[in-house]
Amino acid sequence: MNVPLIVFFVLAAMCIIGAVSLILQRHPIHSALSLIVVMIALAGLYLLMGAEFVAAVQIIVYGGAIMVLFVFVIMLLNAGLEERTNVSKLAGIAGVPLAVALTGFLAAAVARSQDTVQAATQTGATAPTKALANLLFQDFVYPFELTSFLILVAILGAIVLAAPRGER
Amino acid sequence: MVPTHYYLILSAILFGLGVIAFVFKRNIITIFMSIELMLNAVNLAFVAFSQALNKLDGQVFVLFVIVVAAAEAAVGLGIIIMIVRNRQTLNVESVNLLKL
Amino acid sequence: MDFLTQQAAQHADILISLAKILILLFVVLTVNAYLTWFERKVVAHIQSRWGPHRVGPHGLLQPLADGLKFLFKEDPTPAGADKFVYYLAPLLALALALTSIAVIPFGPNPLHFKGHDIYLGITDLNIGVLALFAITALGVYGVALAGWSSNSKYPLLGGLRSSAQMVSYELALTMSVVGVLLMAGSFSLREIIDGQSSAHGLFGLGGIFRWNIFAGPFPQILGFLCFFVAAVAETNRVPFDLPEAESELVAGFHTEYASFKFAMFFIAEYTSMITVSCLCSILFFGGWLSPFPASWTFATYLPSVILLPFGLWVIWDGLRYETIFGKLILPVVGVVITALGAAFLLFPAVNEFIQGPFWLLSKIFFFLFVYVWMRGTLPRFRYDQLMAFGWKLLLPVSLANVVFTAAAILRWGN
Amino acid sequence: MPILNYLWIIPALPLLGSAINGLFGSKWPNKIVNSVAIGSTGLSFLAALEAVREFTHLAPENIPWVQQYFTWIIAGDFRAGFDLQIDHLTVVMLLVVTGVGWLIHIYSMGYMAHEGGYYRFFSYLNLFMFFMLILVLAANYVLLFVGWEGVGLSSYLLIGFYFLRKSAADAGKKAFIVNRIGDFGFMLGMFLLFKSFGTLDFVPLFAKAAPLPADAMGHLGMFTVACLLLFMGACGKSAQLPLYVWLPDAMEGPTPVSALIHAATMVTAGVYVVARSHILFTHAPTAMFVVAIVGCATAFFAATIGLVQTDIKRVLAYSTVSQLGYMFLACGVGAFSAGIFHLMTHAFFKALLFLAAGSVIHAMGGEQDMTRMGGLSKKIRWTYLTMLTATLAIAGFPPLAGFFSKDSILLSAYQNEHGGRILYAFGLLTALLTSFYMFRLIFLTFHGKPRYDEKKVHVHESPKSMLVPLMILAVLSLVGGWVAAPAFWGGSDYFANFLQPVFWQGGAMNAEAAEAAAHALEIPLAIVAVVSALLGLIVAWWLYLRQPGKPEQLAKSMRGLYNLLLHKYYVDEIYAALIVKPLLWISTDVLWQTVDVRAIDGTVNGVAEGALGMGDNVRHAQSGNTRSYAVWVVIGALVIIAIVFWPYFRATTVGAVR
C-alpha cells in the first residue's frame, strides 16, 4: 500500500462523497459546496498524476470563477430549498436505474478501453508547463483562438441575457 | 503508482453520479451543476489518459473543456436569471410550457 | 522510545516540515497580532492620536488583551442561520489565508541541520504562483458564504459584493503577474527571485535596478501598480473594503459573527495582507535580494547597523518609561535586539545567512506599512466606481502590460 | 463585306422587326408598323440576294458553305451549334422564302389594313420569317428543329389570329397538336441519327452516311427507321396522310397567312427536310417507297375532296395538300430536284391563288362561299386575270410553271422501278382532278350569273398594294418554269443542273444518264398530261357553265359518294372517335381521376395523414418536462455506448481490475 495509492483513495472518496452529497443536499448552496469539494479533490488527483498546471487551472477557473458564479447567482436569486415535485413519472421511475446502468456501461467501456491504449512507460515526472504551453500555442493554436472567440461571444450573450430590461 | 483504470473507473462513477443528479434534481441551478460535474468527470478521464500515454494532448483538451465550461456557465446562468425573472421559480418541473 | 527515533529517522523530512509548519504558524499569528497593534498605532498617529498605550508599554500587550476578549466573548448564532455553512465560512477563510503562506520562500540558503538542508519556507512548488492564485481564488467563499449563511440582509449584500468584487479583481491580479512570469519563465517563486538577481538591469546598473519593477526588457511598473491595487481589492482592504462598509452595511459580511469566528476573519484578513506583501516583494522587488550591488560589501552590515541603534534606543526609552512594568520589560527587549545586532556583527556566517530574510522581511514590512498608510488616508470607493475601475481600467492596463512585455521580450530577448 | 460571313443577318432582320413591332408597335400607326415589317423582310430579301450572288462566286470545294457562330448546346461529345450553311438547295429555299414572303408582306399591308391587331399580325409574320429562315439555313438537325418548331409556333399564333373566334382558336390548337405527333417522330429520328453517327451536323453526318451500304428493300435497317421517323415529322408539317387534317382548318387564319405559311413556305418544310436528308433516304429504298406511296395517295385523296368543297379557301387548301403530295411523290421516286422545282413553282402559283382568293374575299366583303359568288370577272379584272394565270399554271398548261414541274414529276414517277406505272397513273388522275376543281373554282367564282345580293355586297377591286404582288407572282408563275424548259428540245434542265451538286447521289436517276432515256418519254407524257388537264377543264366548263343544274343532279344521283367527299371521308370524325375520344377518356378518367387523384394524391395525403397520426401519438412524449427529456438523453447515451462498445462487453466482464 504505497503513499500515492492512499492519497488516491482518499481523494476518490472525497470526490464520490461530494458528488453524492451534491445529489442528496436539498439546498443549492450545499450542492454547490459539495461540487467545490469534488473539484478540489479532482485538482488533487491531477496533482497526483503530475498535471500541475491543469490542477491549478482547475481550482482557479472552476473553483475560483465558475463555482463562485454559481454561488453568486444562488445568493442573488435567493434560492430556497428545492421542492421535490414528482411531475415527471418517467424520471421518477426510470431515471436512477438508467443512470446506474449508464455508469456501469461507462465504467466497463472506459476501463476496457484502457487495454486498447498500450500504456506508455510511466515516468512519474510532472508535466512541464512549458511543454503544455508549446502544445497549446503551436499545435492547438486555432482551437485556442476559437475558444477565446467563444468566450467573447458567451460574455456578450450573458450581458444581453442578464441585463435588466431597460438597459437591453 | 496508481493504475490508470482506477482513475477511469472513478471518472465513470462521477459521470454516472452527475447523470443521476441531472435526472434527479429539480432545481435548475443544481441540474446545471450536475452538468459541470459530468464535465469534470470527463476531464479526469482525459488527464488519466494523457498520463497513461505520456501525451500532453489530454491536458490541453482539459483546458479547452474548462474554457467551454466557463462560457457555458456564463450563458447558462444568464438564462437561469431570465427564467427566474419571468417565471419566479427555479423548479424545472414548473417550467414546462414547451409542450402541446 | 527508540521506535520513535527510528521513525523519526525514517520520516525526518515529514517531521521537519511539520516543525516548519508549526513555527511558521506561530510566527504568522504573532505577527498578525502585532500587525493589529502596528496598524492601530500608525493610523492613530496619522490621525494625530496616541493609539493604544494603556495595556503594556506603548500598548504592546493590546493584542493579547484583544485575543482574550475574543476568546471569552459570548458567541451567538443568528436564528435561521445555516449552521454548517455559518461555521464553515470563517474556518475556510482562515485556513486558506494561512495555507497561502506555505508556498512562500523566506531565504535563499538552506539551514544545515543534522545533514538535512532545511530551506526557509514550507514548500517550493514549481507552480508556486499559480498555487497562490488558486488559494486566493478560493478565498472568496469564506466571505460569500459567511454573508449568505448568516441569514441577514446586510451580510448577504456584503457577501454578494465581495464575491463580485473578488472575481472581478482576480482577473486583473492574475493578468498583472503574467508580465513577471514571462520575464522569469517560471512559476516557481524561488526561480523568479533568482532570475531577478541576474536580470539585465535598467541602464545596465545592478542591485535594485535588476528587480522586475525596473529590470529590462520591460520594467513592470504598470504590472506592479495593477497587482498591488488588485491585491488590495482581493484582501478587501481600504479603499476596497466594500464587503464590510460599515457606513452602508453595518459590518458587511461578518456582521453576524462574534468572538472567535470574527477573530478568524480578522486573522485571515491580516494574513492575506502579509501574503500579498510577500508576493509584491518577491515578484516585483527582488525578494531577498539586496537593493545594493554585490560590490558594496558594507551593505551586508546594514542589519546590525539598523538593529544596534534601535536596540539601544529601546533600552533608553524603557529606562525612562513611566510604568514599572515598562521599566522592566522594555530594556530586556532592547537588550535582545542589541544582542541580535551584535551577533550578526560578530558571526559573519550568521550575518551572511540572514541577509536574505532581512531584506525580504523589510520589504514585507514596507508593504504592510503601505497597507496601513492607505487605510489611514484613502476614502472608500462607491460600488459602481469599484466595478468600473476594475473592469474598465485595471484589466485593460494589465492586459496592455502583458502585451508590451511579450513584445519587448520578443524584441530584446530575455 | 462578304455577307456570307454574316449569314445570321438574314434571319436576324425579321426577328428584329418582329421584336420592334411586338414590343412597341401597339402604340404606332400602321404606316410605321408597315415600314418596320416590310423594311426588315425586304432588307433580308436583299441580303439573301447578295448572299446568293456571292454564293455563285464560291469555289465548289467551299460548298456547302458552313458558318459556325456559337455553340448552343454541348454535352459530352454532342454539340449543337448555331451554325448556318448555304448550298444550292438552300439558295432556292432562301429566295423562295424571302421573296414570296416579302411580296406577301406587301400584300397583307393592304389586306389587313382594316383589321385589329395590325402590329401583332406583322410581328407574328416577321417572327415566322425568322424561324423559316433559320429552318432553311440551319446546318444541323437541332437548329433545323428549332426553326421547325418556331414556324409551328408562329403558324399556331397566326391561325389563331382571330382568337376571339372559337373555330380559329380550335384550328390553331389542332394544327399545333397534330404537328406535335409529327415532331415526336422527327425527334426520335434525330436521336437515332445521333446514336448511329454521333453528330447531327449535316456535312459530317452525310459524309459518314454516304459510303455505308443501303438497306435492302423491305428491310427495316437503321436508315429506313430513321428516314421513316423523319418522314413522320415531314407528314405532320407538310400535311400528308394521315396527318393532313390540320391544314384545311388552318384556313381560319387570315388569307395572307394561308398564302405564306400554309401554301408557299412552311408546309413545304417537310419536303425540304426530305430533300435535305436525301442521302439517308437514298440509303433506304423502303422509306423512299413509303414516301412515294404516301405522297401519291395524299395527292389523289386530297384532290377528290377538293372536288366538292364550296369554300374557296378550303378548295385551295386541299389542292395544296394534293400538290404537296406531288412533291413527296417526286422525292419518293428519287426526283428530289423535281420535287424542289415543284415546290418553287407551287410556291409561286399557290401563293398567287391564295392571294387572289383573298382579293376576291376582300372584294366580296368577307364572303368565302363560292356558291354565293359568280360573274365577278368583269368587276375585278386584275384579280381575275392573275387568278386565271395561276389556275392554268396549277392545272399544268404549257408553258406555265406548273406544267414543267408537274411534268418532270410524272416522268420520274413513270420511270420508277417500284410500281412506277401505278404511281404515274394516280398522278395523272390527280392532275385531271386538279384542273377540274380549279376550273370549277374559276367558273363558280368569276363566270355565270352573280349569285349574291348585289345591293348588299358592292364588289370593288383591291388596292394597289394587293394587286402589285398579284401581278409579280403571276409573272413568276408564268415564266417560273422555263428554267426547266430546254429539257424538251434536248437541252438540259437548268434547274436540275443547278441542284446537281446537292443531289448528285439522290438525283442519280435524273442525272445525265437518265436524261437521255427521259427524252424519249418526255414529249408523249407531256402531251398526255396536257390532254388530261384539258379534259378536266372541259368537264368543269360543261358542268358549271353549260348546265349549272347538273352538279346537284349528280350529287343526288350518287349521294353516298358526294357526302363522303363533302365530309372529307369523315376523317376528322374517325380521328375523333378513334383517337381523341379514347385519349380524352384515358386522360380524364384513367390518368386524372384514377392515377392522379386516387393513386398519387392518395399516396401523398396518406403519407401526410400517417405522419399526422404518428405525431399525434408520439407527441405525448413531448411532456415539456425537462427531467423526462433528461431521461431520454440518458437512454440515447446508453444505446450509443452499447453499440459502440459492444465488442468490449463481449470481450470480458465489467471493471477489468487486475
DSSP string of C336-375?
HHHHHHHHHHH-HHHHHHHHHHHHHHHHHHHHHHHHHHHH
User: Using CA atoms, how far apart are residues D644 and A69, in angstroms rounded to an integer?
Assistant: 37
Q: What is the pLDDT of residue A116?
A: 54
User: Using CA atoms, how far apart are residues D90 and A107, in angstroms rounded to an integer?
Assistant: 88
| Local confidence band at D145 (pLDDT 50, 70, 90 cut-offs) | very high
Q: What is the pLDDT of residue D491?
A: 62
- Residue C318 cell numbers, joined: 524603557
Interhelix angle C221-234/C153-184, nearest 10 degrees: 150
How far, in Å, are C33, C173, C211, C393, D476 from residue C398 at the CA level?
34, 8, 19, 9, 104
B partners (3+ CB pairs within 8 A) are: A, D
Examine the pLDDT at D510 and tell me if it is beyond 50. no
- Residue B31 to chain D, least CA–CA distance (Å): 9
pTM value? 0.57
Q: What is the pLDDT of residue D132?
A: 92
CB contact (8 A) between residue B99 and residue D622: yes
Pairing of strands D65-75, D78-86: antiparallel
CB contact (8 A) between residue B92 and residue D619: no
CB contact (8 A) between residue C85 and residue A71: no
CA C222, C224, C230: angle at the middle one, nearest 5?
105
Interhelix angle D512-541/D381-395, nearest 10 degrees: 130
CB contact (8 A) between residue C130 and residue A33: no
Gyration radius from chain C CA atoms = 23
Average pLDDT, chain B: 83
Indicate if the alpha-carbon torsion angle D444, D445, D449, D451 is positive or negative.
Answer: positive
Q: In the predicted model, what is the mean pLDDT of residues D333-352?
A: 88
Among residues A18, D57, D525, which one has the least CA distance to residue B33? A18
Number of A–C residue contacts, CB under 8 Å: 80
Each residue's pLDDT tens digit, A44-76? 888 888 888 888 888 888 888 888 888 888 888
CB contact (8 A) between residue C134 and residue A59: yes
Beta-carbon neighbour count of residue D599 at 10 Å?
11
User: Using CA atoms, how far apart are residues C21 and C31, in angstroms rounded to an integer?
Assistant: 15
Decide: C and B in contact? Rule: 3+ Cβ pairs under 8 Å: no
Q: Is A92 on the interface with B (CB under 8 A)?
A: no
Are C359 and C290 a contacting pair, CB within 8 Å? yes
Residues from chain A contacting residue D635 (CB–CB below 8 Å): 98
- Residue C385 to chain A, least CA–CA distance (Å): 18
Cis status, amide bond into D486, omega within 30 of 0: no
**Secondary structure (DSSP) of C281-296:** HHHTS-TT--SS-TT-
User: Using CA atoms, how far apart are residues C142 and C163, in angstroms rounded to an integer?
Assistant: 9
Each residue's pLDDT tens digit, D82-98? 889 888 888 888 988 99
Please give the torsion angle defined by the CA atoms of residues D470, D473, D477 and D480, in that order, rounded to the nearest 10 degrees: 170
Q: Using the 8-state DSSP alphabet, how is residue D493 labeled? A: -
- Residue D601 to chain B, least CA–CA distance (Å): 29
Provide the 3-class DSSP secondary structure of residue D368: coil
Each residue's pLDDT tens digit, A22-38? 888 888 888 888 998 89
Of A91, A108, A113, the CB nearest to D630: A91
Are D141 and D188 a contacting pair, CB within 8 Å? no
Are D51 and D65 a contacting pair, CB within 8 Å? no
- Residue D576 cell numbers, joined: 375523333
Residues from chain A contacting residue C130 (CB–CB below 8 Å): 52-53, 56-57, 60
| Local confidence band at D656 (pLDDT 50, 70, 90 cut-offs) | very low
Average pLDDT, chain D: 84
CB contact (8 A) between residue C82 and residue A68: no
Q: Which residue of B has its CA nearest to A68?
A: B73
Question: Which positions of chain C have pLDDT values less than 50?
Answer: none
User: Using CA atoms, how far apart are residues B55 and C107, in angstroms rounded to an integer?
Assistant: 36
CB contact (8 A) between residue D625 and residue A106: no
The percent of residues in chain C predicted with pLDDT above 90, rounded, is: 0
CB contact (8 A) between residue A64 and residue C138: yes
User: Using CA atoms, how far apart are residues B96 and D249, in angstroms rounded to an integer?
Assistant: 74
Residues of D with CB under 8 A from a CB of B: 619, 622-627, 630-631, 634, 637, 655-658
- Residue A162 to chain B, least CA–CA distance (Å): 5
| Local confidence band at D408 (pLDDT 50, 70, 90 cut-offs) | confident
Indicate if the alpha-carbon torsion angle B85, B90, B91, B95 is positive or negative.
Answer: positive
Provide the 3-class DSSP secondary structure of residue D78: strand
CA C98, A61, C400: angle at the middle one, nearest 5?
100
Instruction: Give C69: exposed, middle or buried? Use CB within 10 Å, 0-12, 13-18, 19+.
Output: exposed
Beta-carbon neighbour count of residue C246 at 10 Å?
12
> Which value does ipTM take for this structure?
0.73
Residues from chain D contacting residue A23 (CB–CB below 8 Å): none
Among residues D351, D158, D156, which one has the least CA distance to residue D268? D351
Q: Is A91 on the interface with D (CB under 8 A)?
A: yes
Are C172 and C394 a contacting pair, CB within 8 Å? yes
Among residues C171, C146, C168, C173, which one has the least CA distance to residue C81? C146
Q: Could you identify the residue written with the cell 475601475? A: C389
Indicate if the alpha-carbon torsion angle D190, D191, D192, D197 is positive or negative.
Answer: positive
Decide: A and C in contact? Rule: 3+ Cβ pairs under 8 Å: yes
Phi, psi of C287 (to 5 degrees): 50, -120
User: Using CA atoms, how far apart are residues B64 and A136, in angstroms rounded to an integer?
Assistant: 10
Among residues D93, D180, D74, D186, which one has the least CA distance to residue D135? D93
| Local confidence band at D489 (pLDDT 50, 70, 90 cut-offs) | low
CB contact (8 A) between residue B97 and residue D624: yes
Least confident of A154-168, D319-333, D504-518, D609-623: D504-518
| Local confidence band at D135 (pLDDT 50, 70, 90 cut-offs) | very high
CB contact (8 A) between residue A110 and residue B57: no
Beta-carbon neighbour count of residue D444 at 10 Å?
25
Domain definitions of chain D by residue range: 286-561, 567-622, 629-658
Q: Which residue type, as a one-letter code, is found at position C166?
A: M
Q: Which residue of D has its CA nearest to A109?
A: D645
Residues from chain B contacting residue A130 (CB–CB below 8 Å): none
Q: What is the pLDDT of residue C10?
A: 66
Residues from chain A contacting residue C140 (CB–CB below 8 Å): 64, 68
Of A91, A99, A108, the CB nearest to D648: A108
| Local confidence band at D655 (pLDDT 50, 70, 90 cut-offs) | very low
- Residue C209 cell numbers, joined: 535596478
Q: Is A3 on the interface with C (CB under 8 A)?
A: no
CB contact (8 A) between residue A154 and residue B74: yes
Q: Is A124 on the interface with B (CB under 8 A)?
A: yes
Q: Is A4 on the interface with C (CB under 8 A)?
A: no
C partners (3+ CB pairs within 8 A) are: A
Residues from chain A contacting residue D640 (CB–CB below 8 Å): none
How far, in Å, are B40, D362, D574 from residue D240 at the CA level?
88, 30, 17
The percent of residues in chain D predicted with pLDDT above 90, rounded, is: 9
Domains parsed from chain B with CATH numbers: 4-91 (1.10.287.3510)
Q: What is the pLDDT of residue D508?
A: 46
Q: Is A29 on the interface with C (CB under 8 A)?
A: yes
Residues from chain A contacting residue B66 (CB–CB below 8 Å): 57-58, 61-62
CB contact (8 A) between residue C127 and residue A129: yes
Q: Is B42 on the interface with A (CB under 8 A)?
A: no
Decide: C and D in contact? Rule: 3+ Cβ pairs under 8 Å: no
Helical spans, DSSP H, in C185-301: 189-198, 221-234, 246-249, 259-283
Examine the pLDDT at D506 and tell me if it is beyond 50. no
Examine the pLDDT at D654 and tell me if it is beyond 50. no
- Residue D608 to chain A, least CA–CA distance (Å): 30
